């Protein structure tokens, strides 16, 4: 493609990209043609694992480790892929998502459940596209959008479809006696110190999310102005990604964090097991890109985190991403409180049966 001018035109690049992805899908279909009852998500994970390596190639080229692979595509097809946010996003795709896909496919053909891993990936991928697509459109690269940008449409839609399939599959739960479930669910929030601490942390995260949302909405408060220019000037980067990310946090992450607070205080909220996985995947991916881009050399110096504010910014953002991870770990390590509510009659009936 570096030597064929016709393939470096926008429509040519889109067409060739579709041919390449179609050819990879055909090879995947041929590789399992003798197997029966193939999980439809196998084709998604196998195809996406190929695109992960393309993303990693772009990240390595943008950081100067290799050259001559993606320069023509970035220049003529998707110039926003040269931004700091996109480079960090590509590293995440090329390393984290690729490893997750390999683990999922391995478990799939071993006949083991991969529901939890799949939901982590779905949350991560959805968050990625919710920032990438609007951020590109409203940012400084919006005027350079070409046909090749359309390739992001399936990457936006497929994770939602995959998440719906996974959510409709039964989750694996430990067998816990009804009396133990009832005893755990009768405890108040204050008598569960770990849950109380997580709830307080979630409240703090809600406040921080709202504050940064106000910052990118140009709130005139002195606190917003000080935070923007002394701590996170990256929020004002004209590429558009940090602004869109904070709005996604404000309108999506904030309500989900509030739902987690409710789930920690109300017994029997089984949806917490799935919600925390999706939230952990989403915020981990988003915060990786946000923190990394705030320091990356491709971000103009005036928008990088000031040297004397490095630690406060890193600690705040690290704590912000640690919360959903801890919530997910808590829910899956000790799921008793979130299991279906057990009435006293059911508890007595089980005791008589035993």
> Per-residue DSSP letters for 26-81?
HHHHHHTTT-SS--HHHHHHHHHHHHHHHHHHHHHHHTTSS-SSSHHHHHHT-GGG
The residue assigned the tokens 């919710």 is: 130
Per-residue model confidence (pLDDT) at position 232: 96
Chain position carrying tokens 């919530």? 327
Of 87, 209, 104, 110, nearest in space to 165 by CA: 104
Beta-carbon count within 10 A of 33 CB: 8
- Give the CA angle between residues 89, 90, 95 to the nearest 5°: 105
* First-residue to last-residue Cα distance in the chain: 71
Put simply, whether the predicted model's pTM sits higher than 0.85 gets the answer: yes
Q: Are 215 and 227 a contacting pair, CB within 8 Å?
A: yes
* CA-based R_g, the chain, Å: 23
C-alpha 98: how far from chain center: 14
**pLDDT tens, per residue, the chain with 354 residues:** 667 776 677 777 788 888 888 999 999 999 998 888 899 999 999 999 999 999 999 999 999 999 888 888 888 889 999 999 999 999 999 999 999 999 999 999 999 999 999 999 999 999 999 999 999 999 999 988 888 898 899 999 999 999 999 999 998 888 888 888 889 889 999 999 999 999 999 999 999 999 999 999 999 999 999 999 999 999 999 999 999 999 999 999 999 999 999 999 999 999 999 999 999 999 999 999 999 999 999 999 999 999 999 999 999 999 999 999 999 999 999 999 998 865 555 545 545 555
Question: Under the phi-then-psi rule, with left for phi > 0, alpha for psi from -120 to 50, and beta for the rest, what region is 218?
Answer: left
Per-residue b or e along 99-134, where b marks 16 or more CB atoms closer than 10 Å to that residue's CB: ebbeebbeebeeeeebbbbbbbbbbbbbbbbbbbbb
- Determine the pLDDT at residue 167: 95
Phi, psi (5° rounding) for residue 40? Answer: -60, -25
Nearest in space to 139 (alpha carbons), one of 74, 62, 90, 80: 80
Dihedral angle over CA of 311, 282, 155, 64, nearest 10:
20
Determine contact, residues 254/206, Cβ cutoff 8 Å: yes
């Amino acid at each position: 493609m570096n030597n064929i001018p016709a393939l470096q035109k926008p429509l040519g690049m889109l067409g060739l990209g579709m041919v390449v992805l179609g050819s990879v899908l055909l090879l995947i279909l041929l590789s399992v043609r003798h197997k029966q009852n193939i999980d439809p998500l196998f084709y998604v994970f196998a195809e996406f694992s190929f695109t992960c390596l393309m993303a990693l190639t772009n990240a390595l080229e943008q950081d100067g480790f290799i050259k001559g692979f993606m320069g023509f595509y970035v220049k003529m097809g998707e110039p926003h892929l040269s931004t700091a946010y996109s480079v960090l996003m590509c590293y995440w795709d090329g390393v984290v998502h690729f490893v997750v896909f390999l683990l999922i496919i391995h478990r799939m053909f071993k006949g083991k459940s991969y529901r939890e891993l799949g939901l982590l990936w779905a949350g991560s991928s959805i968050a990625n596209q919710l920032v990438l697509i609007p951020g590109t459109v409203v940012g400084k690269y919006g005027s350079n959008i070409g046909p090749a940008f359309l390739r992001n449409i399936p990457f936006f839609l497929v994770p939602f479809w995959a998440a719906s399939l996974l959510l409709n599959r039964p989750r694996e739960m430990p067998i816990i006696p009804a009396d133990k479930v009832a005893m755990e669910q009768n405890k108040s929030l204050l008598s569960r110190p770990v849950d109380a601490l997580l709830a307080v942390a979630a409240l703090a995260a809600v406040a921080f999310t709202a504050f940064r949302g106000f910052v990118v909405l140009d709130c005139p408060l002195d606190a917003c102005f000080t935070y923007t220019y002394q701590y996170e000037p990256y929020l004002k980067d004209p590429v558009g990604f940090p602004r869109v990310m904070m709005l996604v946090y404000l309108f999506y992450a904030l309500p989900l964090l509030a739902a987690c607070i409710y789930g920690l205080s109300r017994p029997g909220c089984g949806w917490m097991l799935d919600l925390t996985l999706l939230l952990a995947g989403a915020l981990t991916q988003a915060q990786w890109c946000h923190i990394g881009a705030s320091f990356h050399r491709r971000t103009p110096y005036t928008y990088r985190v000031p040297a004397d504010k490095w630690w406060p910014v890193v600690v705040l953002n690290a704590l912000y991403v640690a919360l959903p991870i801890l919530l997910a770990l808590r829910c899956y390590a000790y799921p008793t409180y979130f299991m279906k509510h057990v009435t006293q009659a059911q508890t007595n009936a089980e005791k008589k049966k035993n």
